[in-house]
């Protein structure tokens, strides 16, 4: 384990210098972490040493210990992972929120051209690192919602609601989370969150590749969007949204098993075929 003293004064992590990562044109890296496994006090202390004063304040606003743990691990993971792509100490990164509240890199550089999308839920965390494209990731705990049909009927596009209720009742929860994670990945990629009404775009997942259709008010081109669904664990669903010029495909997506302190290692992520 890395002692907290090794992180004083913004010193780079030893693992940061040992493992460097790079992104080719159009490439993206997906770092997936079981953050509930981070229980060692030395690791928690190392994570704590990386956080800014503002990040600590935000973390401490969570009344439930699991929420504080998620915030601690998430902020440390972002900092150490970004430092594997640039000669920047993990403590030196600074962040800002865009006008819709999405966190973005503000320095140094700004950010060495890096961009990221972060999502976490009980037991799982996903960090998507990329450069030039619009991209987003969402991960959800599929056991956390008790009445998915009611949520879909209220918030989803009419075509999605119709397709959902055409399924047998025992199949609807899985389809709901297919739609939910895909929708979240899109609004995160756009950087606008729920300022984009969820009923203004609809996914088709039952046949062939996943496709998206837009209400004219969104003024977006479905031909530039590419989506993938994953099943990182029995009770988790994950979606990744990426863009490429119409008629072309985005670059490779490489998946890593992440750690907030130790070096990431390549891993295989189970895909989900909703057909």
Alpha-carbon span 76 to 266, nearest angstrom: 20
In a domain, 257, yes or no: yes
In a domain, 271, yes or no: no
Alpha-carbon span 80 to 31, nearest angstrom: 12
Alpha-carbon span 24 to 247, nearest angstrom: 20
Q: How confident is the model at residue 13 (pLDDT cuts 50, 70, 90)?
A: very low
pTM, two decimal places = 0.92
The per-residue pLDDT for 18 is: 63
In a domain, 20, yes or no: no
Q: What is the CATH number of the domain that holds 109?
A: 3.90.470.20
pLDDT, tens digit (0-9, with 9 covering 90-100), for 223-258:
999 999 999 999 999 999 999 999 999 999 999 999
Q: How confident is the model at residue 146 (pLDDT cuts 50, 70, 90)?
A: confident
pLDDT, tens digit (0-9, with 9 covering 90-100), for 16-62:
456 899 998 899 999 999 877 788 899 999 999 999 999 999 999 99
Q: How many domains does the chain have?
A: 1
pLDDT, tens digit (0-9, with 9 covering 90-100), for 209-231:
999 999 999 999 999 999 999 99
Residue span of the structural domain in which 86 resides: 4-9+28-266
In a domain, 21, yes or no: no
């Amino acid at each position: 384990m890395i002692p907290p003293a090794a992180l004083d004064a913004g010193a780079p992590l030893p693992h940061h210098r040992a493992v460097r990562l790079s992104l080719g044109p159009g490439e993206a890296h997906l770092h997936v972490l079981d953050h509930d496994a981070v229980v060692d006090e030395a690791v928690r202390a190392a994570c704590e040493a990386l956080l800014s004063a503002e990040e600590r304040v935000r973390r401490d606003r969570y009344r439930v210990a699991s929420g504080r743990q998620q915030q601690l691990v998430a902020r440390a993971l972002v900092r150490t992972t970004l430092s594997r792509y640039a000669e920047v100490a993990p403590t030196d990164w600074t962040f800002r929120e865009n006008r819709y509240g999405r966190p973005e890199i503000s320095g140094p550089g700004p950010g060495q051209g890096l961009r990221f999308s972060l999502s976490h839920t009980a037991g799982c965390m996903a960090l998507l690192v990329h450069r030039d494209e619009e991209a987003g990731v969402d991960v959800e705990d599929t056991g956390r919602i008790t009445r998915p049909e009611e949520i879909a009927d209220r918030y989803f596009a009419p075509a999605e609601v119709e397709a959902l209720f055409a399924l047998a009742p025992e199949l609807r929860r899985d389809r709901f989370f297919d739609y939910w994670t895909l929708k979240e990945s899109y609004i995160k990629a756009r950087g606008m969150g729920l300022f984009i009404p969820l009923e203004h775009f609809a996914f088709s997942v039952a046949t062939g590749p996943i496709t998206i259709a837009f209400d004219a008010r969104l003024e977006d081109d479905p031909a530039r969007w590419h989506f993938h669904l994953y099943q990182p664990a029995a009770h988790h669903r994950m979606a990744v949204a990426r863009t490429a010029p119409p008629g072309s495909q985005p670059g490779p997506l490489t998946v890593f098993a992440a750690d907030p302190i130790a070096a990431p290692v390549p891993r295989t992520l189970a895909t989900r075929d909703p057909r």
